[in-house]
Amino acid sequence: MSGDVVNLRQFRKQKARSDKERQAEQNRIAHGRTKAEKTLTRALNDKAEKSLDQGRIDKPE
């Protein structure tokens, strides 16, 4: 019943590398867009929020 031997130092370093790569990918998505893409996304979000608010039913208190 012997399992695989794992070097914890190497495991920690590999985990840190993968975490940094994941963060870098998120930053590329968030900050690596053109101004036109950002304005398009903002406009679509505003339109979706506006249409959602139009369907809201306000209950009288």
Q: What tens-digit pLDDT sequence spans the chain (61 residues)?
A: 677 888 999 999 999 999 999 999 999 888 888 899 889 999 999 999 999 888 777 776 7
| Residue appearing with tokens 């036109």 | 36
Measured CA angle at 26 (ends 20, 27), to 5 deg: 85
The H or E element spanning position 20 is helix 8-31
For residue range 49-59, list pLDDT tens digits in order: 999 888 777 77
